[in-house]
Structure 1
Amino acid sequence: MLFTAIVPQFINQAAGNVPLQFLLLGIVPLVIGLATDTSWALLAGRARTWITKSPKAMLAFGRIGGLSIIGVGVSVAVSDNRP
């Protein structure tokens, strides 16, 4: 839906080959997304390997994760989001 609403604004009919312009404007975000998602996945894999080697790191990250979840729960419980 987003691309359907936004991409046509960047099409220049005077530049010619409108289908090619649509194709390029659709492929560029896919390539960028693939590159960034692949980078994050590789980084996460390395981080996991590093963390699992150390029991202390596993314990620390487990505690940090638990405290983060508790913090979010507390913030939701005390927030006043009534319309």
Structure 2
Amino acid sequence: MNQDDVKFRFEVLEVMETEGGYRINVDVQVRWLKETVYHGPVHVEMNQIGIFPSPSDLALASPYKGVRGKLGAEIKRYIKIQRKFIPELAN
């Protein structure tokens, strides 16, 4: 699988405030060559130090290590852009 042929779509579903930060449920759609190969949630922890997607959720999204790495990086970038809105979305 060529990593350049993989596209991602994200949508924040739920944000919960925790002791050290936030737990964010992100709806993820992984498309490869115009075919959806995964559609489901990925849990993300966010605190003062950084943004941490769940490795087990990333593993469910793709069996390919390169795609999982790219997905994790793209989720971090997406949440970083949304960072200032996350407290407003918390339940």
TM-score by length of 1: 0.29
Asked which structure has the greater RCO (Cα within 8 Å, sep 6+), the reply is 2
More strand by share: 2
Decide which structure has the larger Cα Rg and report it: 1
Which structure has greater helix proportion? 1
Q: TM-score, normalised by structure 2?
A: 0.27
